[in-house]
Amino acid sequence: MSNEVSRQISLFSTQMQNRIFGDGTIAILESLLASKDVKSSLEIRSALKEFMRHESLSIIREITEKSVENKLLIADFLIRAFVLIGDVESCLALRYEALLLRDEKASSDTRLEVSYHEWLTLAEQLFDNGFYSAATKTCERALLCIQMDNGICTEDDDCFNCEHAFENIKRLKDAAIILAASQTGTNRGSGK
């Protein structure tokens, strides 16, 4: 590993340990990931994935007493970092948790309301990446959003679009349930 890459890794690590969650830290990460060759790029991504998973758990424990806004800003930073690193699982898990947090706090702050579009987008991404059980739960959240408050129509959508979305979400949920069941059956059969 070159001296420059080592310096960038050290700088990124210091930024994370000092809890500096800004665009500058993301820029360091982007620069670090703009590796010169495939082998070193894979090694760097692997090391960063492990480091970020460990560090994000510590960060999440540390922010339990912070405001919802601070938690969401930090979650957004972590999601961006995981996207850059290519850690889809951690990215989707954090997105799910951030939406749950917003949903939980929306009763006291309507700016935090989660739309069915947001739940559906996440459900599709979970489904596409093989996280069928999580996709099922996320579809349930999307369906609940459509069914709540003044019927299924909102100012942004006409009734036809909402009904169409409702049917699409139900189909996605049904497919996720089937695939989750087959995944569980496969895991049992293979001794996993």
DSSP readout, 155-168? SSS-HHHHHHHHHH
Q: Give the model's pLDDT for residue 165.
A: 87
Its pTM stands at 0.83
Residue 71 · residue 101 · CB < 8 Å: yes
**Would you kindly state where each structural domain of the chain is located, as residue ranges?**
115-192
Alpha-carbon gap, residue 27 to 45, rounded angstroms: 15
Band of pLDDT at residue 160, cut at 50, 70 and 90: low
Quick one: pLDDT at residue 159? 55
Name which of 5-14, 45-54, 129-138, 141-150 the model is least confident about: 141-150
Distance CA 10, CA 14 (A): 6
Residue-level pLDDT at 148: 77
Residue 154 has pLDDT above 60, yes or no: no
Q: How far apart are CA 60 and CA 118, in angstroms?
A: 22
